[in-house]
Chain A
Amino acid sequence: MMEILHCTVNGKPVEVGYDLRESLLDTLRDRLGLTSVKRGCEVGECGACTVLVDGVAIDSCIYLTAWCEGKHILTVEGLQGENGELNPIQKAFIEEAAVQCGFCTPGIIMSAVEIVGSGKQYTREELRKLISGHLCRCTGYQNILNAVERAVDECHKIVGK
C-alpha cells in the first residue's frame, strides 16, 4: 500500500509515493535518486546515511519516511550555492585532504553543517564527540577534524563580522 509524502528536499517541494515500512534512506536513494546518502549498516551505527531533518542530523536508515511529512530535508546535493559554488565545509574537506574513499564523507559533511549551523565554537575535544557518530576507516578522523574545525572557525569569523 503506497502513501504519499509531502515535504521539502534540498529546498524544493516534493511529493513522492512510499511504502509505510520504508526508511528515509531508501526513499532518498531509490525514489529521489539522492545517492550521496550512503548505506553502511542500516542500523544507525556508522553514520554514512546522515541527513538533516529540520536542521537536525539524523541517521536516515533508522528514520521512517512516514515521519517526514511537512519536514525540510537537506542532503549534500543541496549544499552548493546558486552558481554551483561549494559550501565552506565542502571546500574545507577538499583542502584539508579529509576525503579518501569518500563513502563516509557526505554523512560527516551533513553533521558538520549542523555543527557549523549552531553558530557556536567548539574545542577539539568537543568536535571529536560531535562527529563520533560517524565511522571512518580511511582517515583516522585527523583531517576530518581539521576540516570541521576550519569550517567552524571560518563561518564564525564571517558571522562575527
Chain B
Amino acid sequence: MEIGRSIHRVDALDKVTGRAKYTDDFRGQGVLVARILHSTIANGVVKDMDLTEARKVPGVVKILTCFDVPDIQFPTPGHPWSVEAAHQDVADRKLLARRVRIYGEDIAVVVAEDEIAAEHALKAIKVTYEEYPVYTDPEAAMAPGAVAIHDEHPDNILRHTCFDVLTPGAGGRGVDEVFADPAYRHFEAHIDTQAVQHCHIENPVSYAWMEGERIVVVSSTQIPHIVRRVIGQALGIGWGKVRVIKPYIGGGFGNKQEVLYEPLNAWITTQIGGRKVKLELTREETFQNTRSRHAIHFDVKAAVDPASMRLMARTCRAVSNQGGYASHGHSIVANAVTGFRQTYPDAFAHRSDAYTVYTNLGSTGAMRGYGIPQCNFAGECFMDDIAREMGWDPMAFRLKNIMPLGYVDPTNGITCHSTGLAECIRKGAAFMDWDKLRAEYAKPQTGPVRRGIGMAVFSYKTGVWPISLETASARVILNQDGTVQLQLGATEIGQGGDTVFSQMCAQAIGIPTEDVHIVSFQDTDTAPFDTGAYASRQTYVTGKAIKKAGESFRAKVLDFAAGLTNLDRGNLDIRGRDVVSTVSGEAVLSLADLAMEAFYSLSHCEHITAEETVQCKNNTFAFGACFAEVEVDIPVGKIKVLRIVNVHDSGRLINPKLAEAQVHGGMSMGLGYALSEEMKYDDKGRLLNGNLLDYKLPTAMDHPELHALFVETDDPSGPFGNKALGEPPAIPVAGAVRNAVLQATGVAIHRLPMNPQRMVEAFTEAGLIEKGE
C-alpha cells in the first residue's frame, strides 16, 4: 500500500541542500529591475505626474505611468473562469491606477538597470493628487453621501445577499416564527475579527521576457494556469501568447492564489522590447499591496430549546471589509455565513445576511480557510456563551448540535458523506483530560493568574463544487527503466502535494512510490490543465485525475504485457516492479524489460502514456476539533497556552507524517490569529505595522508543543477515501483559546486578537483590573 505510508517528502533533499530553485534563483545576470511608485494618499485621483527629474537618473531605462496603461479592467482572484458573465469575477483593476483607492496604490513603475537607480528615480517623480475622504470601515463607506470608490458601485457595497433557509422536513417554520416562540431562550452577540496577512517567507516575485511574439513569465504562484489567463485578459491578448512557469514557491497560503503583479510585469516587458525584467516586492510592499484576510464583523442571534439543548433557529449578519479592490469578491463572506450555518444545522431555520463593502484599506482576498476562520471564531464564541448562560457543558452542547452523517446542505447540496467529528471531540477530550480539568477550573479562582480549558469544532468543505468548476488533469509517462513520470497542473506550494500525488499515482498503478518521478514545476506550455492549489482541493480533485490516469496507464501496460507474453490479460497484474500472473503469483515480466520492449521493439514499438481529465461534481465535509488549556495573567493581559491539540477527520491520510506537519502549521497560524496578529491602519488608511518586526508573527518562543491527532474515516466520495486537510488546521484554534480564557476569567471576549492591550481593556471593563486614574 502506497497510500498511508509516511515516506519522506520527495522535495526534501533538494530543500535541505539549497538546490531547490525558487523564482529568483533562476533569473541569471543582466536582468532589468522594475520598482513601483505607490501613492501617498488613500482615496483620490492622480492629476499629474512630473517625470523630468526621474528620467535624468543614470541607469533608468523606462518610466511607465497610470496614463500609459491599456484601458482594460481585469479580475485577479484565482477562481476557475466562468463562461457565464453573471458568474465571472469582478474586473475592477487596471495595471496601474489613476483612480487611487488604497494608500500605496500602484501609480507608476520605473524600469532600471539596478535597484538603486530605480529607487532614486521613484523618489524624483512628482505627483499631484485630488484627494477624497478616506473610508477605513464599512459603515462609513456605506453611509449616504460617501464618495464611490468604484463608479460601478455608487453605495460602495460590492454585493449584499440575504438568504432564508428552511430545514427540509422540519415543518416550514421560518426564522421569525421560531424567534416568536416563547418556549425558546434567545441569545445574541456582536463579534469582530481582524485583518491578518499570510506572511509566506518568500515575497511575491516574478520575471518576464518575450520569446518571439509571446510573453514568458516565471512567478511564485499557486495557480500558473490562472495567471496565464489573467495576463491574457489584462493585456487584451490571446491566452496562448502567454507562457507561465512556476518553480518551487516559498509559501502562499492564499495570497498567491491571486494574480498579483504578473500582468504588470508581462506588460512592462512588452514596453521595453521584450527585455527580461524582474519585479520583486519588498516585505513592506507585500504587506501593503498584496492581500490579507478580511476583517468581518458579525451580529448573530439564536433561539435555543432549553429542553433538548438544540439550536432551533439562528441569524447571522456579516459585514466584510473588502478594502479597495474586489479580489475574490463576495465569495469569502458568503462562504463565512454558509460555514456558520453548516457546522450546526438549525432545527428549523436560518437567516444569513452578508455584505461585502469597498473601503480604502488594503485589499483582502483568500487566506487559508476562506472566511471560515472568521465565522468559526464567531460561531464558537457564541456556542460557549450560550452554554455558559445555560449551565451546559460546552462539549455536550456541541455534540447535540453538530452536523450529522448524511446531512445535505439545503442550498448547495453539499453532502456529509462521512464524519468523524463526534469521535474527534471525544479523542481530543480524552487527550486533554477534559472532564477533570473542566471541573477543576470551574471552581472559583481568585488570584491574578487563572487557568481554563476550552474547545472549538469546525466543518470545512473540500474544493469548490458546486459553487465553481472543479477539474483537473494528470499525465503518466513510462520511462525506459519501468518507472514513470507524473505530470500535473496542480502545484506543490510547501504543503507536500508532490509527495502525496506520487503516492496516489503509485497506488493506482501498483508500483512503489520510489518509481514515480514527479515533474514538480508547472510550465503552462506543457503541464496539463489544473486550476491550482486552493480550497484544500488538490488531493481530492487532482487525486481523482491521478487515480484515473494511473488506472488507464496500468491497463495499457497490462495490454502490452499480454501481447508480449501471450498470457491471458485477465490473469495479469502489476505488483511492485513486475507484471505478475495472478494464477501462479509469479512474476512473468519485469516492468523494466517491458519498457525496453515498448520503447525499442523493431516490431511493436509503443510509447505508453496515459492522460486523463476529470470534472469533479462532488464535495464532502472535513471536520475537526481543537482543545486548549490556558493560563491567564490578568494584570498584564497575557494569555499563555499551556497545552493544545487539534484532532482532524480528513478522511484517509495519504501520508500521516506530512498530514501531522500540515496540522502543526495551521495551529501556529491559528495561534497567531488568536493572540497577536493584526494589520493596524491609521485614519488615513496607512498600514502602521507592515513589516515582520511590528506585525506579530509567532516565533518558536510563542508556542507550546503542538499536538496533532486524527480520526480516519473512509470518505466514499474521495479518490482514496481522503478529504480536505490543507486549510482546516488553522480554523478552530482561536475559538478554543478564547473559550479557555472564558472559563479561566469569566470574561467573554468578542474581538480578535486577544493581545495584552485588548485583554487588559477587557479585564478592566469586567472589573478584574481596577480602573487607573
Contacts and interface: CB of A to CB of B under 8 A. Distances in A.
Contacts of B693: 43, 45
B38 interface: no
17 contacts: A21-B116, A29-B24, A43-B691, A45-B283, A86-B13, A97-B661, A100-B494, A101-B200, A102-B14, A105-B16, A128-B703, A134-B700, A135-B201, A135-B697, A139-B664, A142-B668, A145-B700
B664 A132 contact: no
Contact of A45 (B12, B20, B691): B691
Interface string B657-698: 110111011111101000000000000000000011100011
Contacts of B253: 137
A97 to B, nearest CB: 5
B198 interface: yes
B701 interface: yes
B8 A97 contact: yes
A99 B201 contact: no
Choose among A45, A136, A142 the residue with the greatest number of B CB atoms under 10 Å from its CB.
A142
Interface stretch (B105-113, B243-251, B510-518, B557-565): B243-251
A27 interface: no
A137 B495 CA distance: 11
In this complex, the interface size class of chain A, counting residues with CB under 8 Å from chain B, is: 35 or more
Given A97-B657, A99-B15, 15 more contacts: A75-B18, A93-B12, A94-B12, A97-B658, A99-B16, A100-B665, A101-B201, A103-B494, A105-B15, A132-B701, A137-B251, A141-B668, A142-B705, A143-B661, A145-B700
B706 interface: yes
A101 B18 contact: no
B16 A93 contact: yes
A140 interface: yes
Contacts of B496: 100
Given A39-B24, A129-B701, A141-B703, A103 B283 contact: no
B342 interface: no
Nearest to A130: B700
A1 to B, nearest CB: 13
Contacts of A109: 16
Sorted nearest first, the 5 A-B pairs with minimum C-beta distance are A36-B18, A101-B494, A103-B250, A140-B668, A102-B15
A102 B494 contact: yes
A141 to B, nearest CB: 4
Contacts of B700: 127-129, 131-132, 134, 141, 144-145
Given A76-B16, A77-B18, A137 B706 contact: no
Nearest to B116: A21
A35 B698 CA distance: 26
Nearest to B708: A142
Interface in B76-107: none
B223 to A, nearest CB: 16
Contact of B21 (A35, A41, A136): A35
Interface of A: 21, 29, 34-43, 45-46, 48, 75-77, 79-80, 86, 90, 93-95, 97, 99-106, 109, 127-129, 131-145
Interface string B696-719: 011111010110000000000000
A93 B20 CA distance: 15
Given A38-B201, A41-B283, A137 B665 contact: yes
Given A103-B202, A128-B700, A90 B283 contact: no
Contacts of A129: 700-701
A143 B665 CA distance: 10
Contact of A94 (B8, B25, B667, B691): B8
A94 B201 contact: no
B119 to A, nearest CB: 12
B491 to A, nearest CB: 11
Contacts of B18: 34-37, 75-77, 106
Given A38-B201, A128-B701, A102 B11 contact: yes
Contact of B283 (A43, A138, A140, A143): A43
